[in-house]
Structure 1
Amino acid sequence: MSEASPSSPCRVLIVDDHPVVRLGVTLSLEAAAEEFVLCGEAATPGEALDLVERLRPDAAVVDLHLGGRDGFDLIDDLTALHPPLRIVVYTAMEERLYVRRALRAGARGYLMKGCDPALLVPALRTVVSGGLAVSEAAWKDAAPGAEEPASIDALSNRELQVFRLIGLGGAPAAIAEKMGLSVKTVGSYRERIKSKLRLADGIDLDQAAYEFVRRSKEIIPPAR
């Protein structure tokens, strides 16, 4: 079964590497048991792909950072594997900076951890019915004709992942190990990011990345 019928609850997969978060989402689903039922939990990208292939859930609640894997690529892979899947991103990454990229990857909703937990079920209800579940402010940013800051929008998903790890204080060797790359490849990514963001040198890159991460850690609950 790949889609919920009018008489059966929508089957939801949780993809998050924090057990406490998975428990919180589970409790929200249990409170709306007539509409939604948990069909599986995944803590890694590999588990998520395996469960989507085997269980064919109707919807998924997905974090953007799982064991170093780029969450946008994971969303793209999940929707390619099972096109009817409706994904709500549930993450600590600040909405204004990432919502457009998440929607482009195939997500249909975006909620920040720290928002009112009561927003999760309405968000799932919206995406399953074919709508978009994002805050009013994020919708303005994601609407046709709206643009992300050109500098950030210019980065590929992989470059954005490297940029974020730089901002978290990662040295090239540490970033290489986390992403499964060579130090030389990380150096190439640094040069490409500097060029796209028009940064003069490595110090400017480190400072810009730090500021980006600082902004992305702000917790701003979506507007009701």
Structure 2
Amino acid sequence: MAAPVRVVLVDDHAMILAGLQAMLSGFSGRVRVIGQAAEPASATRLVTTLRPDIVLLDVRLGAHSGLDLCRSLSAAAPASRVVFLSVYDDEQYVFEALRAGAAGYLLKRVDGIELVRRLEEVAGGETVVDPTLAGRMAASVARLNRGEFWPGAHRGLTQRESEVLSLLVGGLSNRAIAGRLHLSEETVKSHLRTLYRKLEVADRAAAIAVALREGLFR
């Protein structure tokens, strides 16, 4: 009988951590939670010490980025595979997660049986993506293969980040952008933080200036 998959949970919400612990405790013969953390520094110490098979990680950790933590863990503990467990059902987050070195991206609405099965697949060397996002990812890849790039792609912007930036240039507020793209305001803010980093700016005014200076949107 195979040994249980050893998992470290990382989420900034205590209720989520408790819920995941309770959910996975019913599958102790297949998955064993060996540690929990709520922010990057303690997560890094825990993972480098315990060397789990999988780190189950949220995209956002309060003011910190789970994507940045994933990159750090991939370097510090390459044998521990990262799986994102998120509320963000946007395929662009999946692309960002995979580029950061993750081995999976699942949504928090996943049930216990499915989560355990997916963790076992990752422990076995597979890469997993929530099925509701897989089709949209395939469509995005098809557009890329047809050469249908978008403004800002050369700066590393995803298609969604490019859409957000175009609406920013158009003068829309975060709430208006969220309504136009059918996203939550928190998702829009997360996209903005990422595109600021990629454009090497600190705020929306500077991002607009870069977009206009480089002729990304007219």
When normalised by structure 1's length, the TM-score is 0.66
Other-structure match for 1:213:
none
Amino acid of the structure 2 residue aligned with 1:138: L
Written as runs of structure 1 = structure 2, the 5 A alignment for 1:32-47 is 32-47=27-42
Query: Does residue 191 of the first structure (1) align with residue 186 of the second (2)?
Result: no
Rounded to whole Å, the distance in 2 between the matches of 1:80 and 1:188 is 32
Rounded to whole Å, the distance in 2 between the matches of 1:78 and 1:130 is 17
Other-structure match for 2:19:
24
Rounded to whole Å, the distance in 1 between the matches of 2:215 and 2:15 is 37
Q: Secondary structure at the match of 1:39?
A: strand
Query: Does residue 49 of the first structure (1) align with residue 44 of the second (2)?
Result: yes
Other-structure match for 1:99:
94
1:184-224 Cα deviation digits (max 9, x unpaired): 73243343356789445xxxxxxxxxxxxxxxxxxxxxxxx
Rounded to whole Å, the distance in 2 between the matches of 1:63 and 1:94 is 13
Does 1 or 2 have the higher relative contact order (CA < 8 Å, sep 6+)? Answer: 1
Query: Does residue 68 of the first structure (1) align with residue 86 of the second (2)?
Result: no
Amino acid of the structure 2 residue aligned with 1:68: A
Rounded to whole Å, the distance in 2 between the matches of 1:120 and 1:152 is 37
- CA change 1:7–1:151 in 2 (3 A) is same
Identity fraction in percent = 30
Other-structure match for 1:82:
77
Rounded to whole Å, the distance in 2 between the matches of 1:35 and 1:197 is 53
Q: Secondary structure at the match of 2:3?
A: coil
- CA change 1:118–1:193 in 2 (3 A) is farther
- CA change 1:62–1:73 in 2 (3 A) is same
Q: Secondary structure at the match of 1:87?
A: strand
Question: Alpha carbon RMSD of aligned pairs, Å?
Answer: 3.8
Rounded to whole Å, the distance in 2 between the matches of 1:136 and 1:98 is 14
- CA change 1:24–1:125 in 2 (3 A) is same
8 Å contact kept, 1:95–1:111: no
Other-structure match for 1:9:
4
Rounded to whole Å, the distance in 2 between the matches of 1:75 and 1:61 is 10
Other-structure match for 2:53:
58
1:128-161 Cα deviation digits (max 9, x unpaired): 001122134533455695457844883648xx5x
Amino acid of the structure 2 residue aligned with 1:17: D
Amino acid of the structure 2 residue aligned with 1:135: D
Rounded to whole Å, the distance in 2 between the matches of 1:117 and 1:81 is 29
Other-structure match for 1:115:
110
**Gap runs ≥5 in structure 1:** 1-5, 170-174, 201-224
- CA change 1:65–1:132 in 2 (3 A) is same
Other-structure match for 2:189:
none
Q: CA deviation at 1:99?
A: 1.1
8 Å contact kept, 2:56–2:84: yes
Rounded to whole Å, the distance in 2 between the matches of 1:68 and 1:197 is 31
